[in-house]
Chain A
Amino acid sequence: MPPSSESTLPSSRAALINGAPSRDDVEARLRAYEEATSSAWLRQIVPISAPAFSHAEMQTRIAALVGRLIPLLARGDAEAQAGARQLGTDLADLLYMSGDGLARSHAVLTDLLIQALPGQWQDAHRRAMGVLASLIHGYQDRTRVVILHEQETILAALVTRLERTRADLWDSQARFQSLFLESGIGIWVADMTGETLEANPALLAMLGFTQDELRAIDASSLLHEGDRTRLALLWQQLAGGQVESFQAEARYRHKYGHTIWGHLTVSLVRDTEGQAEYVVAMLQDIDEQRRAAEALRNSDEHLRALIQNSADVIAVVNAWGEFTYLSPAVRSVLGYEPRELLREQMWHLFDEEDLPLVKTFWDDLRENPGQPQYRSIRVRHKSGAWRWIGATCANRLDEPGIQGIVINGRDVTAQIELEDRLSSMAFTDHLTGLASRLAFQNRLREALEAGRGVAVLFADLDRFKVVNDSLGHDAGDQALKALARRFQTCVGPDDVVARLGGDEFAIMLTGADEHDALATAQCMLESMREPVTLQQRQTVLNTSIGIALSGPRLGEPGELLRAADLALYRAKASGRASVALYEPEMHGIAVRRLELEADLQTALERGELAIVYLPEVDLHTGAVVGLEAMVRWHRPGHGLVPQDDLIQIAEETGLIEPIGRWAMNEACGQMRQWRDAGLMIAPLVLSLNISGRELTGDDLIGYLEGCLETSGLEARQLCLEVSERILLDDVIAAAPILTTLRDLGVQIAIDDFGTGQTSIAALPRLKANRLKIDRELIAPLGENPADLAIIKVIATLAHTLNMRVCAGGVETETQLEYARLAGCARGQGALFSPPLTADEVPAYLARV
Chain B
Amino acid sequence: MTMHIDIPEETLSSILAKAFRNTAFVAGFVITVLILAMAVISYVWTPYDVTRLVISDKTQGPSLAHWFGTDHFGRDILSMIMVGARNSIAVAFVAVGIGMGVGVPLGAFAAARGGLVDEALMRINDLVFAFPALLSAIMITAIFGPGAVNAIIAIGIFNIPVFARVARAGALAIWPREFILAARAAGKSSTQISIEHVLPNIATLLLVQGTIQFALGILAEAGLSYLGLGAQPPMPSWGRMLFDAQTRMVAAPWMAIFPGMAIVITVLGLNLLGDGIADILDPKSRRQR
A and B from one complex: no
